Amino acid sequence: MAVCVYRTSRVLVQGITGKEGSYHAKACKDYGTKIVAGVTPGKGGQEVDGIPVFNTVEEAVKETHPNVSLIFVPPPFAADAILEAVGSGIKTIVCITEGIPVLDMVKVKRVIEKEGVTLIGPNCPGIITPGATKIGIMPGHIFTRGSIGIMSRSGTLLYETADQITRAGLGQSTCVGIGGDPIVGTDYIFWLKQFEEDPETEAMMIVGEIGGNAEEKAAEFIKSGAIKKPVFAFIAGRTAPPGRRMGHAGAIIMGKSGTAESKYQALREAGVHVIENPGVIGETIAKVLKEKAII
Amino acid sequence: MKLHEYQAKEVLANYGIPVPEGRVTYFPDDAWMVSMELGLPVVLKAQVLTGGRGKAGGVKIARTSDEVREIAQELFGKKLVTKQTGPEGVVIRKLLVEKAADIERELYFSIVVDRTTSRPTVIASKRGGMSIEEVAEKYPEDIIKIPIDPVTGFLPYQIRRLKYDLGLMAQEKEAAKIFSALYKVFVEKDCSLLELNPLVVTKTGHLLAVDAKMDIDDNALFRRKEIAKMRDLTEADPDELEARFSGLNFIKLQGNIGCMVNGAGLAMTTMDIIKLAGGEPANFLDVGGEATPETIAKGFEIITRDPKVKAIFINIFGGIVRCDKVANGILQALKKVEVKIPVVIRLTGMNREEGMEILKKSGLKFYVANDLKEAAKMVSELANNGGEKSVVEAKKVETKQQNEKKEK
């Protein structure tokens, strides 16, 4: 089992002829992901590493029946690319693009909510089920199949966490980068539900950061009793100065809201195992799970 | 990107939103002349890109010609220290001189994108003039929140409701026009914040935007060229600007450990773990997805320029950026930029072995750490013990760790 994407997922790559698109389409294919088609307007009829390229998503869907789209389209056109995928009936979309205007995402969010589309990202590394399928830009070899589900707002921090979990002798069921922008397609709650239902996942890890209140909302949801499996969490940016955007558009402390402290407090009150030292994420998870006799 | 008040008011005026008569000035004489043209009394307002101006003494009313001169002399060149600037403050270089308004009452109006609902949201209150956080705390019942559907826009019934709630029955037509124009500005200029505090009702019964704050979404500047041109670089930190032009994301902090990291989340985490290990980060630096030898060299250059920096921590998790490439970049950078302080390197992820091999063969001096915890400890000790002097000590730590590993 896995979460959201599977070995059988048929993936379309939008922006496949670009530098990043072509490189990562190949890397995903090499990992075992079924990349069935690519789209770049004006480049229809070409091939990238044996993958057929179409002018429109509609055409690609008709010919190759993808059910997931992976998007590498540049920021000015990325929102349109997402909506094009939605318009052609694709229900799972992974958008890697960083730098999409917020008001574009306001419209996208409105549409995906109405159409019941799962949008992962934007501004994210994608999603991986180790050993089965990789739909994104993460280095595949640092992941090991196992029982921990990871959800992260940051890319490299997702790698760091997965790596520590692997080194601690554990593995990951599915790892997802939910994105570092103020408006993203899915929140922690969506993934908490997915991991709770997934028989392979035995514990979950929230990798959060300062800004917004996604972690507080996740804490509220966990507190309501909806999640029975153990949840761990780390929040990046405790030492970040307020009012400054820390790289990610969404990572900013405004006034008193969005601080690491408020997130830690909410998570702690919800019974989440809070890991405040990012150097011991892997070993802490292993230790707690052993104590609970889960592993 | 933040706009100055005078810039925001220019934009608003173009949309037919009434703002006080006034002009931005650059010299005391200039300010005096504008005040004579406008007629007394006038308000002199420091144009600085930070909040809390008023409380810090950056906004003053002048009733006489002499007062204008006095206040202008005082404010120009003054260091304004507000809650947001930190102790170093910001120097006042521009003053907006405006005709003082006859104020009947003050309202609050803003539009933001609410991250929880993913919708633009109008926030308004009868209690203008004080910070909205303060209103939220003391009079939560006086805050009006109206989420706007991006497809339909700010609808007439929502505007009507706002007018009634703010008690603007007498200004019915005028208010409707102004509110819908404000939403238009928000959308057409890709604002992340548009705030009028206060929006006032004058003694003659008209609405007037006495203050205006406008933040623009950086991601949208590519399509808002007219706004991008307004960027004021004089208040930005020169190192931060230089980094931005080189494609680096750099923020200066107060500590003594220079950091170079790939990825924003990992860069923040690196700062956090340095602090936990007893050190103080000197900066946030995300070299981004495409760390080339040039960008790494630039990073070194900017970090080492800060005399406070006593040690450098390079933390790279190879993904899109492969470790061997980064190692080559570090070598090239160290040849270009002379680094006299200890450098701790932690490389992991894609092509780690190749990267480490390149570093070992180079003959250059640096410390290698295997994981985040170890690296943070090492670099904090190096920095706290006064840089170069502690090198011997750190070597001991390193050998000790190697011995421990051998024993294992």
Report the C-alpha gap between B41 and B43 in whole angstroms.
7
B383 with B371: CB under 8 angstroms? no
Chain B residues with beta carbon closer than 8 angstroms to that of A210: 268
Q: B148-184 pLDDT, tens per residue?
A: 999 999 999 999 999 999 999 999 899 999 999 999 9
Nearest chain A residue to B317 by CA distance is: A156
| Residue carrying structure tokens 């600085």 | B48
- Separation between Cα atoms, residue B27 and residue A55, nearest integer Å: 58
3-state secondary structure of A234: strand
pLDDT for the residue B392: 43
Which residues lie across from B107 on neighbouring strands? B199
A-chain residues near B317 (CB < 8 A): 156, 159-160, 163
What is the C-alpha to C-alpha distance for residues A92 and A116, in angstroms, rounded to an integer? 9
Task: Give the gap in angstroms from C-alpha A107 to the nearest C-alpha of chain B.
Answer: 6
- B285/B365: higher pLDDT: B285
Residue B185 CB contacts under 8 Å (≥ 6 apart), including other chains? B11, B12, B15, B17, B191, B194
A24 is catalytic: no
Residue of B187, B320, B321, B326 to mutate for A, most A C-beta atoms under 10 A = B320
- CA-based nearest residue in chain A for residue B269: A236
Taking the Cβ of residue B244 and every Cβ of chain A, the question of whether any pair is shorter than 8 Å is answered with no
pLDDT digits (tens, 9 = 90+) for A22-62: 999 999 999 999 999 999 999 999 999 999 999 999 999 99
Which residue reads 């950026």 in tokens? B321
Spatial distance between the Cα atoms of A166 and A111, rounded to a whole number of angstroms = 38
Computed over every residue of chain A, the mean pLDDT equals: 95
- Is B157 marked active-site? no
For B37, residues 6+ apart whose C-beta sits below 8 A from its C-beta are: none
Among B399, A251, B334, which residue's Cα sits nearest to residue B314? B334
Q: Which residues of B touch A155 (CB under 8 A)?
A: 263, 265, 319
Q: How high is the pLDDT of residue B383?
A: 92
Of A104, A158, A244, the CB nearest to B251: A244
Question: What was the pLDDT predicted at B393?
Answer: 45
pLDDT, one tens digit per residue, over A214-235 is: 999 999 999 999 999 999 999 9
Strand partners for B195: B110, B213
Contact A240 B271 (CB under 8 A): yes
Average pLDDT value for residue range B55-70: 95
Which residue did the predictor score with more confidence, B299 or B402?
B299
Confidence band of B406 (pLDDT split at 50, 70, 90)? low
The C-alpha angle with vertex A48 and arms to A47 and A54, in degrees rounded to 5, equals: 50
Q: What's the pLDDT tens digit per position in A98-136?
A: 999 999 999 999 999 999 999 999 999 999 999 999 999
Q: What's the pLDDT tens digit per position in B280-330?
A: 999 999 988 667 778 888 888 899 899 999 999 999 988 777 888 888 888
| A278 to B263: CB separation less than 8 angstroms, yes or no | no
Please judge whether A246 and B267 are an interchain contact, meaning their C-beta atoms are less than 8 angstroms apart: yes
Average pLDDT over residues A141-166: 95
Cα dihedral value B45, B50, B51, B57, nearest 10: -40
How many C-beta atoms lie closer than 10 Å to residue A292's C-beta?
12
Backbone CA torsion sign across A66, A68, A70, A73: positive
| Torsion (CA) A255, A256, A260, A261 in degrees, nearest 10 | 160
Q: Tokens at residue B169, please?
A: 């029955």
Residue B217: list chain A partners with CB under 8 A: 101-103
- Tally Cβ neighbours within 10 Å of residue B81: 17
| CB-closest option in B115, B249, B319 to A159 | B319
pLDDT higher than threshold 50 for residue B390 = no
Of B133, B149, B284, the CB nearest to A246: B284
Sign of CA dihedral A33, A37, A40, A45: positive
Contact B268 A209 (CB under 8 A): yes
Average pLDDT estimate for A56-84 = 98
- Return the structure tokens found at A20: 């990043």
* Interchain proximity A156–B319, CB inside 8 Å: yes
Hey, how many other C-beta atoms are within 10 angstroms of the C-beta on B405?
9
CA A132 remoteness from chain centre: 16
Question: Is A184 within 8 Å of A209 (Cβ atoms)?
Answer: no
CA B336 from chain centre, in angstroms, equals 31
Task: Answer yes or no: is pLDDT of A86 > 70.
Answer: yes
**% pLDDT > 70, chain B:** 94
A141/B350 touch (CB, cutoff 8 Å), yes or no: yes
| Secondary structure (3-state) at B219 | helix
Whole-number pLDDT of residue A1: 60
The reported pLDDT for the residue numbered A99 is 95
Of residues A103, A237, A279, nearest to B190 (C-beta): A103
Largest interatomic CA distance in chain B: 87
Q: Note the pLDDT of residue B401.
A: 53
Q: Which of A107, A141, A209 sits opposite B150 (nearest CB)?
A: A107
Among A65, A141, A248, A273, which one carries the catalytic annotation? A248
What are the tokens at A283?
């070993």
Tokens matching residue B407:
């024993």
Cβ atoms of B317 and A156 closer than 8 Å: yes
Q: Which residue of A has its CA nearest to B132?
A: A255
* Closest-CA residue of chain A to B151: A107
Structure-model confidence comparison of residues B60 and A256, the more confident one: B60
Of these residues, B106, B195, B374, B381, which one is catalytic?
B195
Nearest CB partner across the interface for B373, out of A138, A141, A279: A279
Q: Which residue has the higher pLDDT, B234 or A189?
A: A189
Res. B133 pLDDT band, cuts 50 70 90: confident
Predicted local confidence at residue B298, as pLDDT: 87
Q: pLDDT higher for A244 or B22? A: B22
B217/A101 CB distance under 8 A: yes
B98 and B22 in contact (C-beta within 8 Å)? yes
Q: What are the beta bridge partners of residue B228?
A: none
Report the first-to-last Cα separation within chain B, whole angstroms: 54
Give the β-pairing of A145-152 and A172-177: parallel
User: Is residue A288 helix, strand or coil?
Assistant: helix
How close does chain B come to A267, measured CA to CA in Å? Answer: 18
Pairing of strands B59-62, B42-46: antiparallel
Distance of residue B80 Cα from the nearest chain A Cα, in angstroms: 18
Nearest CA of chain A to the CA of B130: how many Å?
A: 15
Residue numbers of B between 245 and 304 with CB closer than 8 Å to A:
249, 251, 253, 261-269, 271-276, 281, 284, 286
Q: What is the 3-state secondary structure (H, E, C) of chain A?
A: CCCCCCCCCEEEEECCCCHHHHHHHHHHHHHCCEEEEEECCCCCCCEECCEEEECCHHHHHHHHCCCEEEECCCHHHHHHHHHHHHHCCCCEEEECCCCCCHHHHHHHHHHHHHHCCEEECCCCCEEEECCCEEEECCCHHHCCEEEEEEEECCHHHHHHHHHHHHHCCCCEEEEEECCCCCCCCCCHHHHHHHHHHCCCCCEEEEEEECCCCHHHHHHHHHHHHHCCCCEEEEEECCCCCCCCCCCCCCCCCECCECCHHHHHHHHHHCCCEECCCHHHHHHHHHHHHHHCCCC
Dihedrals phi, psi of B301, to nearest 5 degrees: -60, -45
- Contact state of B190 with A139 under an 8 Å Cβ cutoff: no
Rounded to whole angstroms, the Cα distance separating A49 from A68 reads 19
Catalytic residue among B108, B367, B374, B381: B108
To which residue do tokens 């979309």 refer?
A93
- Count Cα atoms within 13 angstroms, Cβ side, for B55: 11
Rounded CA-CA distance A150/A205 in Å is: 5
**Per-residue pLDDT tens over the stretch A273-285:** 999 999 999 999 9
What pLDDT, in 10s, does the model give residues B5-50? 999 999 999 999 999 999 999 999 999 999 999 999 999 999 999 8
What pLDDT, in 10s, does the model give residues B247-266?
A: 899 999 989 999 999 999 99
